[in-house]
Amino acid sequence: MHKLLYELKATMAFVERHFNLAKRYLGWEIVDLVYILVNGLTIVLIGVGGGPQQMLYLAAGALLWEFLSVLFHEVSESVSWERWEGTIEYTFMAPIRRATHLFGMCFYAVIYGSIRTIFVLGGMALFFKFDLSQANLFGALVVLFCSSISFIGLGFMAAVLPLMSPEKGSQATHIFQAIVLLVSGVYYEVSVLPAWLQPFSVISPATYTLRAARAALLDGASLADIWPDLRILLLIGILLIPLGLKVFSIGERYAMKTGKLKRNG
């Protein structure tokens, strides 16, 4: 119990560190927020011809993708970023469990991603005056929570790549993220994808996230209605988190054997 509390407190190291950094890069944070807001608005404007439902459909895609990609990016890039800063050995030498380290990154990513998403949501609501009286907002939040778990698991697995290959690992995580964007039906139905790409959409947790969140937001679907998708998301998450931690620890051991933890090479 005492040990658990100790580890839980240690996760705050990562949250605090990142908020301190965000403070230093405040100018960039603001630029970034403006950019993602304008980007979101532009995407929703594409759907003006299709009426409010079409616009809401696109808005849901833009918001969810914003949240999920921040989550994935923050977690998966944490290793390559610390290598670049030169703090990686210091962080890895700390007397905490690796899971604590990684969950600390996730806490931060969830808070940070939520702030950004709420900001864009607020901006869109002001701009388009969406009618959300029919929407099941609570249901959409539950979807977001369930999908966070699986994206965190994916993030752990992707974070290992820069650990194993300092030069190419980070590139690989970006490609992975792009493929998820392509196959998950962020801005269109997955049915429009070429047949050979469709199987990928079945294994991407983002597909279920978007489908369930849209059902809740656009059609006011109840939790019972979206339960089949939620169940899949939870299942993927419950499988991916321990798998991600395992993969990461294997990667870490490999890095410590081959001397890849060092900043240069």
Q: Which residues form the interface with ligand ATP (CB under 6 A)?
A: 259, 262, 265
- Among 6, 35, 138, 188, which residue interacts with another protein (rule: CB under 8 A)? 6
Decide which of ligand ATP, another protein, none touches 90; Cβ closer than 5 to 8 Å per partner kind.
Answer: another protein
Q: Residue 253's binding partner, choosing from ligand ATP, another protein, none, with beta-carbon cut-off 5 to 8 A by kind?
A: another protein
Residue 16 binds: one of another protein, ligand ATP, none (C-beta under 5 to 8 A by kind): another protein
Smallest distance, ligand ATP to C-beta of residue 260, A: 7
Nearer to another protein, 81 or 127 (CB): 81
Partner touching 21 among another protein, ligand ATP, none, CB below 5 to 8 Å by kind: another protein
**What is the identity of the amino acid at 100?**
T
Q: In the complex with another protein, which residue's Cβ is closer, 66 or 252?
A: 252
* Binding piece for another protein, criterion CB under 8 A, among 67-75, 80-88, 174-182, 231-239: 80-88
Choose from ligand ATP, another protein, none: what does 10 bind? Cβ within 5-8 Å by kind.
another protein
Residues within window 12-41 making contact with another protein, judged by CB under 8 A:
12-13, 16-17, 20-21, 24-25
Nearer to ligand ATP, 174 or 262 (CB): 262
Burial class (CB in 10 A: 0-12, 13-18, 19+), 88: buried
Residues 83-142 that bind another protein (CB under 8 A): 85-97
Stretch that binds another protein, among 44-52, 123-131, 175-183, 254-262 (CB under 8 A): 254-262
235 touching another protein, by CB under 8 A:
no
Contact 233, 205 (CB under 8 A): yes
User: How many positions of this chain bind another protein (CB under 8 A)?
Assistant: 32
Residue 166 half-sphere exposure, CB side, CA atoms within 13 Å? 14
Which of 197, 63, 74, 221 lies closest to 128, judged by CA?
A: 63
By beta-carbon distance, which residue lies closest to ligand ATP?
A: 259
Q: What residues make contact with another protein under the rule CB under 8 A?
A: 6, 9-10, 12-13, 16-17, 20-21, 24-25, 85-97, 253, 256-259, 261, 263, 265
